[in-house]
Amino acid sequence: MSAALPLYITSPSVPTEAELSALLRTALESRRLSNAGPLNHQLKLRLSEMLKVPHLALTSNGTAAIEVVARALEFHGKVITTPFTFPATAAALIWTGATPVFVDVEEDFLTIDPNAVEQAMDESVSGILGVHVYGNPCDVVRLDAISKKHRIRLAYDGAHAFGTTYDNVDISRYGDATTFSFHATKIFTTAEGGAICVNSPELHRKIELLSNFGIESEDSVADIGINAKMSEIHAAFGLANLLHYHDDLEQRREIRKCYDEAFANLKGISTLGDRPGISNRLQYYVIRVRDGKRDSVQSDLKSSGVFARRYFYPLLSDIKAYRQVCPSASNPFPNATRAAAEVLALPLSASMKKEDALRVARIIKTSIT
Ligand SMILES: *Cc1c(COP(=O)(O)O)cnc(C)c1O
């Protein structure tokens, strides 16, 4: 048997050189490299059509997108969120002056638990920031009811949920605002980049304003913004990548199916289910390894050149820097704590073959038996 190539958790989708240079030519010839150029406009249009969303703003990355949303929704004081996420979620809140209040997640989907959100609610809470973990949407219906009842704003970090629909509409139609990340590790990538989707035209205008220093016109600065703009180079990369997007999704679907079959009825391993009513959950393939064997499975995979990730571990509430500024971090989070000890994200990308997935599954089977 020949030595197999290493497999990483993700492998970015890239356009061909010809596809990219055809799009880059626009920017090079016009010398328009940023500030709402034609490629930006084109990508915005294509993505809004694809997702069927009314308002989409492009950003320099997914973290800046959350920061802009936090400012646009006037988050201040406490904002309820989850400790089971990537650091950017809570960091963006802290960077914009809010204090994250961590609450536990639901056992089945690892998204923020609406009951826990209700319990954490008090006068100084100004918003909720849910995370659609691994592309599984939060309980958007209950969170919507909670935010309306308490008259606070509701935003989602949808970095894992690009293209996911719930009840046949794009996931970003729920809540006041949803952010996406187009980082190289994400399902649709512009190398670095992101987007913000909202339903309200006024909020969209505010987001565009805040992303561009608050500059309204040549002689008017209407707000204190930041620079969260996507460059024309990144927009070109995104437009070129869109040429392969649907084929990429199909390939990811194949790999997911392969894993699903391999792990069905495998003792000691459970796979993460889809929340009923959703489609296109293809960002990560995550298993839960029981009986304290997660780390040994990870290291057995590594010895065979398969680089799976303990995603998300550690919990944000267990990180010293967050504990210092978030009093809620010392609360117990039983579901999130168990998940952080059991989850393992396996390689999933459009460049993988079925044989790669079978090989990963074989190593895992051997490791746990
Ligand atoms: C990737 C990611 C982000 C950050 O996005 P960037 O584009 O890398 O800034 C935020 N939240 C979650 C859950 C992510 O996975």
pLDDT at 79: 98
Q: Measuring CA to CA, how many Å separate 143 from each of 68, 155, 192? A: 21, 10, 30
pLDDT in tens, 200-225: 999 999 999 999 999 999 999 999 99
pLDDT at 5: 85
pLDDT at 135: 95
Q: What percent of the chain has pLDDT over 90?
A: 97
pLDDT(339) > 70: yes
Q: Measuring CA to CA, how many Å separate 348 from each of 254, 255, 290? A: 10, 7, 21
Q: Considering only CA atoms, which residue is closest to atom 6 of ligand 1?
A: 62
Give yes or no for residue 96 CB within 6 A of ligand 1: no
Show the tokens assigned to 320: 């010293």
Which stretches of the chain are assigned E, i.e. beta strand?
Answer: 7-8, 55-59, 78-81, 99-102, 125-131, 153-157, 165-166, 169-170, 177-181, 194-198, 215-217, 220-221, 269-271, 278-279, 285-289, 306-307, 343-346
Nearest-atom number in ligand 1 for the CA of 193 is 7
Distance 159 CA to ligand 1 centre (A): 5
Show the tokens assigned to 339: 């998940």
6 cis-preceded (ω within 30 degrees of 0)? no
pLDDT(341) > 80: yes
Sign of the torsion formed by the C-alpha atoms of 344, 244, 33 and 35: negative
pLDDT in tens, 229-240: 999 999 999 999
pLDDT(4) > 80: no
Helix H, strand E, coil C: the string for 40-79 is HHHHHHHHHHHHCCCEEEEECCHHHHHHHHHHHCCCCCEE
Alpha carbons within 13 angstroms on the beta-carbon side of residue 358 total 3
Nearest-atom number in ligand 1 for the CA of 160 is 15
Please say whether the beta carbons of 8 and 307 come within 8 A: yes
pLDDT at 3: 63
pLDDT in tens, 64-120: 999 999 999 999 999 999 999 999 999 999 999 999 999 999 999 999 999 999 999
Q: Considering only CA atoms, which residue is closest to atom 15 of ligand 1?
A: 159
Q: Considering only CA atoms, which residue is closest to atom 10 of ligand 1?
A: 88
Distance, in Å, from the CA atom of 296 to the CA atom of 165, rounded to the nearest integer, reads: 35
SS3 225: coil
Q: Which of 110, 181, 182 to mutate to test the pocket of ligand 1 (most atoms within 8 A of CB)?
A: 181
- The average pLDDT across 38-53 equals 97
Show the tokens assigned to 345: 């994200």
Q: What percent of the chain has pLDDT over 70?
A: 99
- The average pLDDT across 131-154 equals 98
Nearest-atom number in ligand 1 for the CA of 131 is 13
Distance, in Å, from the CA atom of 75 to the CA atom of 127, rounded to the nearest integer, reads: 6
Give yes or no for residue 86 CB within 6 A of ligand 1: yes
Distance, in Å, from the CA atom of 93 to the CA atom of 328, rounded to the nearest integer, reads: 14
Nearest-atom number in ligand 1 for the CA of 65 is 9
- The average pLDDT across 30-37 equals 94
**Among the listed ranges 27-31, 120-124, 189-193, which one has the minimum average pLDDT value?**
27-31
Distance 219 CA to ligand 1 centre (A): 34
Give yes or no for residue 88 CB within 6 A of ligand 1: yes
pLDDT(152) > 60: yes
Please say whether the beta carbons of 251 and 352 come within 8 A: yes
Give yes or no for residue 183 CB within 6 A of ligand 1: yes
Average pLDDT over the chain reads: 96
